[in-house]
Structure 1
Amino acid sequence: MPSLRTFRIEFDRPGATYAPGEIVTGDIIVDLAREKTIRALKLSVKGEANVSWERKRSTKDSQGRNHTQIDHFRASEQYFNLTYYLLGNTAGNGEVRVPAGFHRYSFNFSLPYNIPCSFEHTNGHIRYTMKAVIDRPWRFDHESKIAFTVVSSYDLNAHSHQCIGADDEVSESFCCFCCFNLGSMKLRIRIPTTGFVPGQSIETMVNLNNTSSVNVTKICVKLERSLEFHARSPYSMTKTDKAILKAEQRMGPFGEQADIPSRLQIPPIPPSHLEYCSIIDQKYSLRITIHVSGTHCSITKVYPILIGTIPLHSTISSASYIQTIQQPTAPNVMQYDYDPPPPMPTSPDYVPPNTPYPQAIGFASPNQPSTSTNPWDIPPPSYEECMQRADSIKDEDESNYVHGANEPFAPRYPVFNFTTSHPPKK
């Protein structure tokens, strides 16, 4: 019968979602059926970004025979990698007897402030993980792993000049075989703002004035995401990925004059810019396509959209906001002009970490209160899992016996609960 009945990591915060600079607290749970002798109980905390993809290409050898060659493109960035010894020591030359029964070993550490938001995709990720290891003499180690979410603050009010909305007029003339004039169509596309947080809705209005004999068959509105992954090995290469995150369509035909509204609710997605990450770029846009009858080309307009974590003050009113589940919001994140002490686990058997802190990373003060960055003190959002998830959090150099490494993981992003508002006025 195995002596280890339970070995896992628990966070004190439900959902395990944190802001840069916050203090992460929790426990390592160990339940033993009988006494166990170990070298150490250690906890490793890591934040990193990775991109990877494959490309197939055909080559010919010296005899002219065709071969398929696969190029593996990769890049990585490490933001921190810290190790704490909760039992035992860094030298690994001692032994610790852990008695049978249930044990809880507490930890706490401060996240750096200049780290990017969590992100998951098939071709790359920004991921934060913890791994607890029971180091056993002359035996395989026990390992348990878990991921948590870091959400960087992106205040739309600091970028309000990019969120002014759109009021666009489009005119289109139609003809048949370049000879017969079929008339013209005028469109007015209005978007009140182009800055949103998850939970809000992108409301658009298309005013149609159609004096042609060509019908508008449907109007499609799509929220799109554009990603760029930058590899550095075996040489510099960029891979682009575009995806439709949300879509709505209104079917025609419409009359000579019509006002066609649409409403797309923003799902749980990361903010527009993955600041502090140099190998993954992300942008959002709104694509509006007016499809017309016959062989005539559709009319398409694309508008850049900003997704943030703090909504525009101009879009908030007490009547249009519903308070949701109370969860901590992001703390004020600032750079300090002194070097605060490193994060310290609370175990009395703690030994200082054997991994030095990178000089480029700064830590927020452990005494910094978890106050909201929002000066209007709106109710906090809930945190919901993103549509994009990882099938597992297992690293390439890890075995299949790391508990939790083969579990799926989806980051959680703040979602604001707004009441349904009316579409834009005519």
Structure 2
Amino acid sequence: MSTNCEIRFDNNPNGTFTSGQMLTGKVILNLSEKKKVRSIYLKIEGVAKCSWVVTKGAGNRRRTITYSGKEDYLNQTTYLMGSASGGQLEIAAGITTFSFACMLPEALPSSFEGKYGHIRYSCKVVLDRPLKSDKEFRTSFSVIKSEDLNAISMLAMPTKSEIVRYFYCCCIRSKPFFMSVSIPFSGYVPGQKVDLTIFINNQSNVNIDGTKVSLERNTQYISQNPRKKVRSELLTVKEVYGTGMLKSASGELKISLVIPPLSPTNLNYSRVMTTCYQIRVLAKASGAHKNPHLTIPIRIGSIPLRAALPLPHFNAILNTSMTTQATAPPMAVQDLPPPSYEEAVSIRPEMGGEDADVSIFNPRYPVWNFSPAPSAPLATESAPETSFKVPLN
């Protein structure tokens, strides 16, 4: 009496694809007894949705407004058996296999899960049964927008940010606190280290107890109904800690932060949401003083910068890029392995309603293994990521 259906992707058990890639697979239908259907069809869908609720007023004037937005990227229907207007067909008991294929458009944005929205891709098999409700089987897959960081030349240039701050006590201003942060380039891929050089000249009378480096993701959700409205979400995805600096002292700190599995920067591929990243460096001042901080924007892509690696390593990475299937064997160049595909940290959306039938899906993103280290090292070796840890609020 049971009906089972499995959707398998060819040579791609992780279900991770790049935009512009051919998606192929099989639908394996297993029936314990013969069934009558009008048709069996496969829908391959890609959609972005956002939603949040705003409450205004109080008492009798209290009201809630639901802001929402939606954008379709992919909607392909393939009839595996029968048609929408056809008569009844009978499927024999046992296993029946159907093949399918779909060319993914180049402009597809990457899969994404956020607090107030998502970009999701899925395959759904529907058994259109006469005089009965349809039976559906769904599986999700990840799409990564191919982003070659080398296409933006300025990403290979060193980036620097600096601040000057003063501390106050009883309206008396201290001598200046100066902090500068530099990184060798501003384009990175997951699995790659961001090597930060932090210079502090603390001429004030306040000790700096420690430093904190955070990788932050800034997402903007853009509604269409009842009108256009933007909601921002700033999320810290990773933190590392470093030593501080005594008062009336100066010195240089080295901190490294490894980029975790994250979707590429998305500023141009969706009208419903945008995503960008930045590095925040905070100096923890002792006492009740305000903590000085600065930010440096970075871009996350899927193909690393040539400037980040010696040429043999770059060629190896490029040859094993995601333009091949996820299980393709690595090219035999420097024995550099292809990327692993790791799940992002899931954030449970505040959404429901028509999305209730779609389970929350953790997209998988490529994480590059940069070992062995490049033969041409950076200017100075970075200190351990947790050389000195203090609680920073």
TM-score bracket, normalised by the shorter chain, equals 0.7 to 0.9
Cα distance in 2 for partners of 1:3, 1:233 equals: 42
Give the drift of 1:131.
Answer: 0.8
Partner of 1:272: 265
Aligned length: 368
3-state DSSP of counterpart to 1:66: helix
Q: Deviations over 1:26-84 (max 9, x none)?
A: 1111111222222111111111111111111115xxxxx53431111111111231211
Partner of 2:5: 7
Contact 1:205 1:423 in 2 (8 A): no
Partner of 1:382: 340
Q: Deviations over 1:252-276 (max 9, x none)?
A: 4548233222111111111112532
Contact 2:27 2:99 in 1 (8 A): yes
Contact 2:117 2:349 in 1 (8 A): no
Cα distance in 2 for partners of 1:241, 1:412 equals: 21
Cα 1:169–1:281 shift into 2, 3 Å: closer
Contact 1:205 1:424 in 2 (8 A): no
Q: Which amino acid aligns with 1:70?
A: T
- Which of the residues 121, 129, 137 maps onto 1:136? 129
Give the drift of 1:378.
Answer: 7.3
Question: Given the alignment of the two structures, is residue 164 of structure 1 paired with residue 164 of structure 2, yes or no?
Answer: no
Q: Which amino acid aligns with 2:283?
A: I
Q: Which amino acid aligns with 2:262?
A: I
Q: Which amino acid aligns with 2:241?
A: Q
Cα 1:86–1:327 shift into 2, 3 Å: farther
Cα 1:212–1:424 shift into 2, 3 Å: farther
Output aligned runs, 1:246-285, within 5 Å.
Answer: 246-252=238-244, 254=246, 256-285=249-278
Partner of 2:354: 396
TM-score, normalised by the number of residues in structure 2:
0.83
Question: Given the alignment of the two structures, is residue 204 of structure 1 paired with residue 159 of structure 2, yes or no?
Answer: no
> Which blocks of at least 5 consecutive residues in structure 1 are unaligned?
60-64, 332-369, 399-404
Q: Deviations over 1:346-380 (max 9, x none)?
A: xxxxxxxxxxxxxxxxxxxxxxxx9x9xxx99753
Cα distance in 1 for partners of 2:216, 2:231 equals: 17
Partner of 1:22: 21
Contact 1:393 1:407 in 2 (8 A): no
Cα 1:174–1:230 shift into 2, 3 Å: closer
Cα 1:80–1:254 shift into 2, 3 Å: same
Cα 1:56–1:107 shift into 2, 3 Å: same
Give the drift of 1:412.
Answer: 1.2
Cα 1:131–1:394 shift into 2, 3 Å: farther
3-state DSSP of counterpart to 1:277: coil
Cα distance in 1 for partners of 2:272, 2:145 equals: 17
- Which of the residues 44, 66, 72 maps onto 2:66? 72
Is the radius of gyration larger for structure 1 or structure 2? 1
3-state DSSP of counterpart to 2:120: strand
Cα distance in 1 for partners of 2:118, 2:189 equals: 21
Give the drift of 1:25.
Answer: 1.1
Cα 1:213–1:86 shift into 2, 3 Å: same
> Which blocks of at least 5 consecutive residues in structure 2 are unaligned?
382-393
Give the drift of 1:231.
Answer: 0.6
Cα 1:273–1:397 shift into 2, 3 Å: closer
Give the drift of 1:160.
Answer: 2.7
Contact 2:48 2:72 in 1 (8 A): yes
Cα distance in 2 for partners of 1:295, 1:67 equals: 41
Q: Which amino acid aligns with 2:43?
A: S
- The alignment-based identity, stated in percent, is 32
Give the drift of 1:205.
Answer: 1.8
Cα 1:391–1:32 shift into 2, 3 Å: farther
Q: Which amino acid aligns with 2:113?
A: E
Contact 2:206 2:285 in 1 (8 A): yes
- Tell me how large the CA RMSD over aligned residues is: 3.2
Cα distance in 2 for partners of 1:160, 1:99 equals: 59
